[in-house]
A and B are shown apart, each in its own frame.
Chain A
């Protein structure tokens, strides 16, 4: 637990349901944390509902089974002999020569799902589980494994955590990534058994006292899992399973899991998971992980008592169903507490996927699948350059921002990534990125038109600040921003320029006059430190 933070107002608030104001500010806060970027449309949609209904809707994705990634890669150099351009490859057959192309298809598609997310938490919580049960595609190198892995996370993202742990344990991607598929009675591999406890369920908190012996015993239980080369699906091979009894430490009450031979050996896994989940620390550990993902990285003693403990109770009382925990958290006074707003350093996906969504950047539709995936992959690459490669977190521990004290989320921002964030937003709003006839670019005029009075320089600057930042800025700073629109002249010149454009929107001269000024203003807005917080 972190205890010393110099400049931090504190709060006593807990999980009591929030009953305060429900204005655009609160809606925006909720959407920033549960989705990528709070778009104008979504804020307008939810502000007409109650807070409770809004949370309920966010926690009820319409589907967890989006149409799968497709062949976007057929071109002059590569031809998939089995799958046509635009058809999905996830049902096979596998084709080693196409692994790289298909993995990029999956990476692009995954980010595409984030960009085009519906009004739900699905993408944010799926990414949470990807960080939690981290695997690296570039290690297991199988696109079909990768697709199934993320579907497993997606479909269980709001469901039964205990079932998810069992399923991920024998997921092919995970079996390869942590060597579970070569864990046999003659050559036990402790890799997964360790992470199962250290990273996935119990954590390394003060109350997590499992031992090295427990790791070794768990490894024996997990022996015998293999992957079918044809189907790519895992199966239990009793001949490779260690059928001896496994005795655990005092932390687990000296529990003995009786060794079983034959097909029944598989059942030891359920006993192992039951044993682990009997520990109260599991619920607390997961609730702390959720807290750090959705609220802030510091969990002070008050938050531990007033938030983590009751959330963990809810988790256990609901048999490890995830949704009730999130519901309690997002409806709580603590979530909406002023102290917890605007304090998240944007992750690269928050920054860039959020930027694309907030500024309503248009992507090619599925009739142009090559262009569409190209731009999705571009977004993926930019997030990767910013150190968040979706599909390839840096290690089994996930991204450092969610575990590495004392900096945590601040790790995202350094002297390399911050200037690049500024360059990226500069390019996206000025010239964009071109591919053939398609261009990915922010339409600054369209952004200005989201607001009520784009012809009023002062109002537009304030609206933009409210939309892009959680914090307000000083009058000096606003005056400076206005000067981008007025070019140092009277504000009436901006009003006239805007009105002239609106009266004759097809006139390129009038359009360029307002566009250039909006672009310059928006660049500046996105270059300020305030834009890096969510």
Chain B
């Protein structure tokens, strides 16, 4: 399979001007800019649809660890979903979905939807804004990157953008955002690689959203003129409009327009893909997950209320979209991913809601996902404190890195370039790049312990014993607030058994988690420090 093609260059590149777009090349910031003449990009028709659940989704009421039901009920009785109402999943004894998620349950049972448990990042930030920025930029919690991971990916593939675009190789927008909430995920190192539209039918809205009517005077005349040029000069606008006209939807599962904003957005996405748009990334979003109060109904039962309605919309939208994609024959080209800036606190508050938390599940959907659940149910302690949070099992950047590798077919070094550091990859996707799979035989072998500590409980120090099958091992210790206490191992470790001593030093007594990851295989276990 021919994975890479050299971009066919048109005339402007014959002689590289001192300034591009009015800016010196150095202003464009990317060192890759200097290599544009030799740059090759991956020729793929794969599409990624990002669904942002804005506000912080309550993961524990979304993917419910029914094997932890007793302790979880103690921590959040007033928002707890009745056990009998939890949707049972095929082949999963201890884990179920929120009762609103019937559509996603079907997809899960049909092996078109997978769950990644407890996704987060070390030292989580509980500000919506900051945590959203971290999810979009894929930086560490203490780093500030202005570019988004999608923007960097597209900038890596099309380093010269927007100079010389659109062109015959890439005639369409690189990324499209549908809807009004603007995210920075498509921000490249210097220019934004995405374009926002609210409706492909309304051509005039393509660039600016809703125009303000122009006044009936000289200023209005000139405003009309500038707007007309803006429309004409946005070649992508025409491409989107054409695709919107050519494309269609086939699923009858979509709700009536206006009832489910997310479904409306995904419907546009399906239509544009079916209309032949070569856009690689679509970004859609749904607001309202910031459920500090009344996330469940005070009167209708805990399986109803604001959060139930939101999950119902997400589930209905994804189910309809996937159905549409299949009927349109696009199932091999489309992958979906949900994310939210954080999960919510284990312990609920008195106002029938939950406060900002840490790790939460992510969903991937499409014909190419590895079905099932990656990771373990979170362990809920007997006596959860107000500020306790779920420890992360997987770093969200490992999910991104896996998508870049196994969906957009980048080489490992390229993945590192886009992500700006090395993140372990996860076996979340079927091989769709004809490259050697990273899958390991040991994947998700329930019950096998790859890591354990002794003694436990412990005073001051404990020995953590782990097994490596060769390759990169990460061994980290977190507290119950999901803060990273120490990274004990982060390196290549030869196959075999190894051990490392954890010294608690002056840490306060209580529960800590140690997280082990060897490639795709990860386990997170609690240990108790006593005095």
Cβ of A434 and Cβ of B26 under 8 Å apart? yes
Query: B94 an interface residue at 8 Å Cβ cutoff?
Result: no
B29 closest partner in A (C-beta): A431
A282 CB to nearest chain B CB (Å)? 28
Cβ of B218 and Cβ of A474 under 8 Å apart? no
B452 CB to nearest chain A CB (Å)? 36
Cβ of A410 and Cβ of B22 under 8 Å apart? no
Return chain B residues, CB-CB under 8 Å to A382.
19, 22-23
Complex-state Cα separation, A184 to B335, whole angstroms: 79
Cβ of B182 and Cβ of A520 under 8 Å apart? yes
Stretch binding the partner chain, chosen from B84-92, B229-237, B272-280, B472-480: B229-237
Given contacts A480-B210, A516-B133, contact A434 B27 (CB under 8 A): yes
Given contacts A430-B187, A516-B133, contact A343 B222 (CB under 8 A): yes
Return chain A residues, CB-CB under 8 Å to B132.
487
Cβ of B213 and Cβ of A483 under 8 Å apart? no
Complex-state Cα separation, A513 to B27, whole angstroms: 24
Query: A473 an interface residue at 8 Å Cβ cutoff?
Result: yes
Query: A341 an interface residue at 8 Å Cβ cutoff?
Result: yes
Complex-state Cα separation, A23 to B224, whole angstroms: 27
Complex-state Cα separation, A76 to B477, whole angstroms: 54
Complex-state Cα separation, A60 to B161, whole angstroms: 47
Query: A470 an interface residue at 8 Å Cβ cutoff?
Result: yes
Query: B220 an interface residue at 8 Å Cβ cutoff?
Result: yes
Interface string of B199-234 (1 = CB under 8 A from A): 000000001111111111111111111110110111
Cβ of A529 and Cβ of B22 under 8 Å apart? no
Cβ of A473 and Cβ of B226 under 8 Å apart? no
* CB interface residues, A 404-423, toward B, < 8 Å: 409-410, 413-416, 418-420, 423
* CB interface residues, B 372-411, toward A, < 8 Å: none
Cβ of B190 and Cβ of A431 under 8 Å apart? yes
B173 CB to nearest chain A CB (Å)? 13
Stretch binding the partner chain, chosen from A4-12, A189-197, A229-237: A4-12
Return chain B residues, CB-CB under 8 Å to A476.
209-210, 212
Q: Which listed residue, B125, B187, B224, touches A509 by the CB 8 Å rule?
A: B125
Query: B299 an interface residue at 8 Å Cβ cutoff?
Result: no
Cβ of B287 and Cβ of A488 under 8 Å apart? yes
A415 closest partner in B (C-beta): B233
Complex-state Cα separation, A418 to B217, whole angstroms: 22
Return chain A residues, CB-CB under 8 Å to B220.
7
Cβ of A345 and Cβ of B222 under 8 Å apart? yes
Return chain B residues, CB-CB under 8 Å to A386.
22
* Count of residues in B whose CB is under 8 Å from the partner chain: 61
- Residue among A378, A418, A419, A489 having the largest count of chain B Cβ atoms under 10 Å: A489
Cβ of B22 and Cβ of A532 under 8 Å apart? no
Return chain B residues, CB-CB under 8 Å to A198.
none
Cβ of A419 and Cβ of B162 under 8 Å apart? yes
Cβ of A343 and Cβ of B217 under 8 Å apart? yes
Complex-state Cα separation, A70 to B233, whole angstroms: 41
Cβ of A413 and Cβ of B218 under 8 Å apart? no
Cβ of B217 and Cβ of A427 under 8 Å apart? no
Cβ of A423 and Cβ of B21 under 8 Å apart? yes
B385 CB to nearest chain A CB (Å)? 25
Return chain B residues, CB-CB under 8 Å to A8.
217-218, 221
Q: Which listed residue, A419, A471, A497, touches B219 by the CB 8 Å rule?
A: A471
Cβ of A409 and Cβ of B129 under 8 Å apart? no
Cβ of A513 and Cβ of B130 under 8 Å apart? yes
Given contacts A385-B22, A487-B54, A528-B208, contact A338 B217 (CB under 8 A): yes
Complex-state Cα separation, A378 to B233, whole angstroms: 25
Complex-state Cα separation, A420 to B221, whole angstroms: 22
Complex-state Cα separation, A343 to B224, whole angstroms: 11
Complex-state Cα separation, A112 to B365, whole angstroms: 56
B26 closest partner in A (C-beta): A434
Query: B507 an interface residue at 8 Å Cβ cutoff?
Result: no
Complex-state Cα separation, A8 to B213, whole angstroms: 15
Return chain B residues, CB-CB under 8 Å to A410.
222, 225
Return chain B residues, CB-CB under 8 Å to A483.
180-182
Cβ of A381 and Cβ of B184 under 8 Å apart? no
Cβ of B26 and Cβ of A426 under 8 Å apart? no
Q: Which listed residue, A419, A497, A516, touches B184 by the CB 8 Å rule?
A: A516
Complex-state Cα separation, A517 to B21, whole angstroms: 25
Query: B285 an interface residue at 8 Å Cβ cutoff?
Result: yes
Of the A-B pairs whose beta carbons lie under 8 Å apart in the complex, a sample of 8, sorted by A's number, is A5-B221, A8-B217, A424-B22, A471-B212, A474-B210, A474-B213, A487-B54, A520-B184
**Chain A residues near B (Cβ < 8 Å):** 5-9, 296, 298, 338-345, 378, 381-382, 385-386, 409-410, 413-416, 418-420, 423-424, 426-427, 430-435, 470-474, 476-477, 480, 483-484, 487-490, 493, 497, 508-509, 512-513, 516-517, 519-520, 523-524, 527-530, 532-533
8 other contacts beyond A345-B225, A413-B226, A480-B210, with CB at 8 A cut-off? Answer: A385-B22, A415-B229, A423-B23, A432-B27, A477-B209, A493-B128, A509-B142, A512-B144
